[in-house]
Amino acid sequence: MSTTEKSVSTSLHYLEEKLADKNPVLLQAFRLYHELDQVAYDLGLIGMDDSLVNKTSWSPVITVIGDSPSGRNEFINRYLDTAIPAIDTFANHAQFTVLIHHPDEVPRNLPGTAVDGDPQFPFYHISERLNQIEKDESRHINTYLELTTNNSSKLKDKTIILAPGFAPNIKYEGVALLREHAATLSDLVFVFFDASKPNLEDYRSALAPFLKMTTLSHNPGKFIYVINQDPDSVNTVDLASWKQQLSNLGLQSGQFFVLKQSTETNNQLAIEQKLANIDVESAYRILHTLEQHINEFESVVIHEVKKAIILWKDRSHFTVIVLLSFIALTLVAGEIQFGLVAVLLDPFVASIFLFLLIIILIPFHIYSSKIHAKFISKKLVERQIELGLMENLSALFEKSLTFWHILLPFEQPVGWNKDVQETLDMIKTRAKGLVQSLNNIFNSSITSANSKKKILF
């Protein structure tokens, strides 16, 4: 391990100060991330200015999915309750809108590049993953994303993502990628449907993969399906039919509400209660993400680099075998033509031949290994983007291309040793303890609230 201590940036110091006032458990989680940063930095997986803290959002994230007729926009405007609506009620476009708080009364709008280039937003570097769908698709990032501000107090310390619904879209793959990305990192996901369009088969191609993704979530209960009904409608929504259709498309769990916009209903109050409790969901999500990132350090990051090293060695050895096979065939041909084997049986000649063979093989092996490494390193960059990792896989791989790694059967990445593994185990143990600490805080809050109620009565 290196003795260089990784620094903490000014923005992360600001986040640390906020957490100190907000939640002591999350503050401890932040500090565990910094210890994880140190391990990653020592291995060469991140730079001095990078931080794994940016792999998660430290404030609640809400994603609201749906097209204009679904009532999504009206729901958001009703929730934020500001003089200037946060979003045009009748707007119907394929962009993802990231809504954040700003005290100015007049909303500000920024292009998608502002979201893609800032680690404090949920779509940080999403353009790299778009490039995997189609070459140079990142150039169109502004057609996918936009940033909008609003002065609603309900937006303080929250981020709301407005995502397109499941209607056919010319950028289907890109939209699906961003929609699933947003839903995965969110604390609550509202999926709006228009009650007047009860046939979900029309949306199967986009909706079925999304529902399959929700079943893999560690918290499937965060997905809330809202059947939005026109307040003037006299028809009754057949909720059982909606549930059956969604089940046929792959849904296994989730909560359902029928909502009439512009009317005060029990369902409206229930949804608002969920929004009011989002800090709790967010805290548990952050701790779960921390544990997940610690587990993925070995099972994903180190595993991918180790797999690349093994592939690199296999290809390098195969190249040497091909060369030796060529030499062997040459000797066979020489034996047939000139009786070379008899000459090579002479101890002196055999020694000279073996010496020359080693002199040729070692430089050849080193050179061919470096050639293979270039191709594998390039593949690791693509694999890193595909997995959505911040850790620089190719940097650790290239760091492991030492002289002894080339010549000897070493498969572990450089720096990955028992001390590092013990450090990760210690961080993991402390992270698991934070969940219990968080339980104790919320249990104490509930007990305190109940005590106050008894005193009032």
167, 315: one domain: no
Give the pLDDT score at 50. 86
Residue keyed to tokens 């989002």: 278
**Alpha-carbon gap, residue 13 to 96, rounded angstroms:** 30
**Alpha-carbon gap, residue 193 to 393, rounded angstroms:** 41
Q: Is the dihedral angle over the CA atoms 351, 353, 354, 359 positive or is it negative?
A: positive
Tokens representing 187 are 């604390």
344, 436: one domain: yes
Give the pLDDT score at 438. 87
Domain enclosing residue 354, as ranges: 13-55+290-443
**Alpha-carbon gap, residue 75 to 339, rounded angstroms:** 90
Give the pLDDT score at 178. 94
**Alpha-carbon gap, residue 46 to 392, rounded angstroms:** 6
Give the pLDDT score at 43. 93
Q: How many domains does the chain have?
A: 2
Tokens representing 27 are 């503050």
Query: Can you list the residues of the chain whose pLDDT is less than 70?
Result: 1-3, 9, 89-93, 261-265, 331-351, 353-357, 444-457
Nearest to 149 by CA among 113, 104, 198, 196: 104
Give the pLDDT score at 70. 86
Domain boundary (245, 276, 307) is at 276
> Is residue 81 assigned to a domain?
yes
Tokens representing 8 are 């903490």
Per residue in 209-240, pLDDT (tens digit) is: 999 999 888 888 899 999 988 777 777 888 88
Give the bridge partners for 98, in sequence order: 147, 161
44, 171: one domain: no
- The helix or strand, by DSSP H or E, that contains position 159, with its residue range, turns out to be strand 159-163
> Is residue 284 assigned to a domain?
no
The vertex-153 CA angle with 276 and 222, nearest 5°, equals: 30
Cβ contact 261:228 at 8 Å = yes
22, 271, 364 from 441: Cα distances, Å:
12, 24, 63
Give the pLDDT score at 101. 92
242, 258: one domain: yes
> Is residue 3 assigned to a domain?
no
Here the CATH number for the domain that contains residue 235 is: 3.40.50.300
252, 397: one domain: no
Residues 6+ away with beta carbon under 8 Å from 438: 25, 283, 284, 287
